[in-house]
Structure 1
Amino acid sequence: MAKMNFNDYGRCMATYNSWQNAVLFDLCEQIGDEERRRDRNMFFTSIHNTLNHILYIDLRILDILKTGQAGPYDARTIVADDFDDLKEQRIRIDREIGAFVDANDHAWQDGIRELQGLDGIKRKLPRQLFLMQLFNHQTHHRSQITSELHKMGIDYGITDVPLTPDLPL
């Protein structure tokens, strides 16, 4: 592929995030529930809570992309307290993100969403920006978790986007 458009970007990033989430959840499964829930002085205290936060924000952003709306924000929201449930929901949402970016109708990209931010300011923003935020937000918080795994002596492995298996190019 000589060029990438925004649709290609979305498909590549959905594939990348699905891959990275699978690696992360496999490693987190290996460390056990006690280590996942340990207070590590992270922003959301633990690896488990951070995984929950990523999923919670993904659900909110998907709502914004699909409907233009998101309910009230609550940083303490726990989507799934059980790790197996959290992992199943992660897989389901990654598939939903993939289906969204694979959809044939990309007219959504031209839309503008007016939302009030957590700072109380209303903004009119292109819907494309929210898709970018979804991927950026996942990467940001996965890095917090991989830093904790590194401290535990666990090698997270490759995170480079161009090395994503099965990139849809």
Structure 2
Amino acid sequence: MITPDYCLTMARYNAWQNRQLREIFETLDRTTLEEQRGAFFGSILGTANHLLWGDRIWMSRFGVGEAPGVGLGASTGLTGSGGAWAVERFRTDGRLLLWAEQLRSVDLVGNITWYSGAAERWVSKPRSVLIAHMFNHQTHHRGQIHAMLTAAGVTAPLTDLFLMPEGSPWL
């Protein structure tokens, strides 16, 4: 279904997108980041925190790093500010890039089984499907952040995959 090259491309895309968000967040005041905007996870920061939480929970299921210390319900409060989010996002993107750079085809096969708090049951799915889901989840929630930034009058980042710069991990 997916290849190590796909995973590396998507990890680089994720890092590039998050670097742009970190740069934008540095220019925004706390009110703009935390204002409730009617999105599923409320605010720009709440959605960014949920996305960081999601990446960490999936990476822990893939055997890379610790799971967040909070559950889904508290994911929007994972960090307390744009600055704290930027630091944690940078660290997580680095970990994700290192993981993707080391993947081999054999690492993409087999099932992962875990207890899903969201589904309230044990789930077992192919590793490749779950990795694709992680990258799709990133894109989905960054799209929500993009819409909230635009609604707030902020120029949102460039998001087209085919326009991604080449040659660096964009951290």
Please report the TM-score for the alignment, with normalisation by the length of structure 2.
Answer: 0.84
Residue correspondence of structure 1 range 1-16 to structure 2 within 5 A: 6-16=3-13
Q: Conserved in 2, the CA contact under 8 Å of 1:53 and 1:75?
A: no
**Displacement of 1:101:** 0.8
Asked if the contact 1:65–1:130 (Cα under 8 Å) also holds between the matched residues in 2, the reply is: no
Give the Å deviation of 1:104: 5.3
Question: Which letter maps to 2:141?
Answer: H
The corresponding residue for 1:82 is 81
Counterpart residue number, 1:29: 26
The one-letter code of the counterpart of 1:49 is G
Please give the residue correspondences for 1:72-111 in structure 2 after superposition, counting only pairs within 5 Å.
73-77=71-75, 78-103=77-102, 105-111=104-110
Aligned-partner residue type, residue 145 of structure 2: I
Q: Secondary structure at the match of 1:43?
A: coil
Is the contact made by 2:21 and 2:157 (CA closer than 8 Å) also made in structure 1? no
Cα deviation for residue 57 of structure 1 reads 0.8
User: 1:41 matched to which residue of 2?
Assistant: 38
CA distance in 2 between partners of 1:166 and 1:24 (Å): 18
Cross-structure match for 2:60? 63
Paired residues of 1:80 and 1:86 also in contact (CA < 8 A): yes
Structure 2: 5+ residue stretches without partners: none
Q: Quote the RMSD (CA, aligned, Å).
A: 2.3
1:86-132 Cα distance to aligned partner (Å, 9 max, x none): 10110111110000011155532122112233223433211122221
Deviation at 1:39, TM superposition (A): 1.4
Structure 1 residue 65: Cα displacement:
0.8
2:154 maps to 1:154? yes
- Alpha-carbon offset, residue 53 of structure 1: 0.5
Contact 2:7 2:100 in 1 (8 A): yes
CA distance in 2, matches of 1:17, 1:167: 15
Identity level (%): 27
| TM-score, with length taken from structure 1 | 0.85
Alignment of 1:104-119 (within 5 A): 105-117=104-116, 118-119=118-119
SS in 2 for 1:159: coil
Q: Give the drift of 1:140.
A: 0.8
Q: Residue in 2 aligned with 1:129?
A: 129
Stretch deviating more after TM superposition (121-130 or 138-147): 121-130
1:113 maps to amino acid: I
